[in-house]
């Protein structure tokens, strides 16, 4: 699949902002199954400083600073991405899950890259309730592919998608208590479940192409950012699972960035200098399939 992507964030303030400094994770990664073409991040007003780099995990990061007074700031990422469905070796998926724990003697060549993702992080606490919930799926001797897929099925079945149930700062314990949340919450929950059993798993941000209801036209800008997880299978291989939609990654997903949790890879974050008392943020995302 080929997609034309556009992610536009508009901030408005009730008084001038004299200085805006921002960090953006908006440029998709180049991967064996994903090719990125002509992707740019722009800022209006024009920034006095604009640069890009790769972070510790290899994600593309854009830095900007706007010093001209403004009451509206627009940050947009736009470009084209070609995506294939990742293919996994059945022999790798058949490995017993206990042999893939970086902190418990796993011997794969890239175990050092995975170790960081087996530890607790700021938004993924190692709570006992998550370990207990995951134990039903992580049975002794079970193949890693079967075990983590079963866990994904259960999270999808047991937790309700509810935008009002949580906030961006909700904890894993809160999600387990409410039995509801959004994609970010379900990703954090699965990470806690896997990491409490010493498996390495990382948070992934990106986009999921959606279809309009039957008989309806696509609404431009009505899509949204999405989140899922990847679990380490050893030797540079990761299996991506989406508990929100109960499926493995396919060619409808565009991968932007990954880290320990949402806090590592928000689409935008920053600091402003202003006397404004109120502000609003509007986000418009469009993932439009295009002909090759």
Does position 82 have pLDDT exceeding 80, yes or no?
yes
d(Cα 49, Cα 16) in Å, to the nearest integer? 19
List residues bridging with 225 in a β-sheet. 207
Query: Which pLDDT score is estimated for 213?
Result: 64
As a whole-number percent, the residues of the chain with pLDDT over 90 amount to 89
Which among 30, 161, 164, 24 has a CA at the least distance from the CA of 84? 30
219-240 pLDDT, tens digit each: 555 588 999 999 999 989 999 9
From CA 264, how far away is CA 209, in angstroms rounded? 23
pLDDT digits (tens, 9 = 90+) for 57-67: 999 999 999 99
Higher-confidence residue of 223 and 112: namely 112
Question: What pLDDT shows up at residue 210?
Answer: 83
Mean pLDDT of 14-19: 97
Count other Cβ atoms within 10 Å, centred on residue 100.
Answer: 24
pLDDT per residue as tens digits for the range 185-228 = 999 999 999 999 999 999 999 999 987 666 666 555 558 899 99
The domains located in the chain, with CATH, are 2-83+266-290 (2.60.40.2250), 90-264 (3.10.620.30)
pLDDT band at 169 (very low <50, low <70, confident <90, very high): confident
Judge whether residue 279 has pLDDT over 60: yes
Q: Which contacts (CB < 8 Å, 24+ apart) does range 103-110 have?
A: 103/198, 104/198, 106/234, 108/234, 108/235, 109/235, 109/236, 110/234, 110/235, 110/236
Q: What was the pLDDT predicted at 168?
A: 84
CB 58: neighbour CB atoms within 10 A?
10
The pLDDT of residue 217: 63
pLDDT at residue 292 is higher than 70: no
Nearest partner of 13 among 273, 249, 256, 268, judged by Cα: 273
pLDDT of res. 25: 98
Mean pLDDT of 18-25: 97
Cα(267)–Cα(24) distance, integer angstroms: 5
Mean pLDDT (the chain) is: 94
Closest alpha carbon to 128 in 203, 192, 171? 192
CB 73 within 8 A of CB 268: no
Three-state secondary structure call for residue 57: coil
Per-residue model confidence (pLDDT) at position 107: 84
């Amino acid at each position: 699949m080929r997609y034309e992507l556009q992610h536009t964030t508009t901030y408005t303030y009730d008084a001038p902002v004299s200085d805006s400094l921002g960090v953006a994770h908006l440029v998709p990664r180049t991967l064996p199954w994903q090719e990125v073409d002509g992707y740019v991040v722009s800022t209006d007003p024009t920034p006095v400083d604009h640069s890009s780099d790769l972070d510790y995990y290899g994600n593309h990061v854009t830095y900007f600073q706007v010093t001209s007074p403004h009451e509206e700031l627009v940050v947009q990422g736009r470009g084209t991405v070609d995506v294939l469905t990742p293919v996994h070796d059945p022999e790798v998926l058949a490995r017993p899950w206990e042999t893939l724990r970086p902190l418990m003697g796993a011997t794969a060549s890239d175990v050092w890259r995975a170790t960081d993702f087996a530890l607790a992080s700021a938004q993924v606490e190692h709570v006992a309730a998550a370990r207990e919930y995951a134990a039903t799926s992580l049975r002794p001797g079970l193949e890693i592919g079967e075990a983590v897929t079963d866990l994904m099925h259960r999270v999808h079945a047991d937790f309700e998608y509810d935008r009002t149930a949580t906030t961006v700062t909700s904890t894993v314990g809160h999600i387990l208590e409410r039995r509801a949340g959004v994609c970010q919450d379900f990703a954090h929950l699965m990470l806690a479940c896997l990491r409490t059993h010493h498996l390495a798993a990382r948070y992934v941000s990106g986009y999921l192409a959606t279809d309009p209801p039957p008989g309806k036209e696509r609404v431009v800008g009505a899509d949204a950012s999405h989140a899922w997880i990847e679990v380490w299978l050893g030797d540079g291989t990761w299996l991506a699972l989406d508990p929100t939609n109960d499926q493995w990654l396919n060619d409808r997903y565009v991968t932007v960035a990954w880290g320990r949790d949402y806090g590592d890879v928000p689409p935008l974050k920053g600091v402003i200098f202003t006397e404004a008392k109120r502000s609003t943020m509007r986000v418009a995302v469009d993932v439009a399939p295009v002909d090759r």
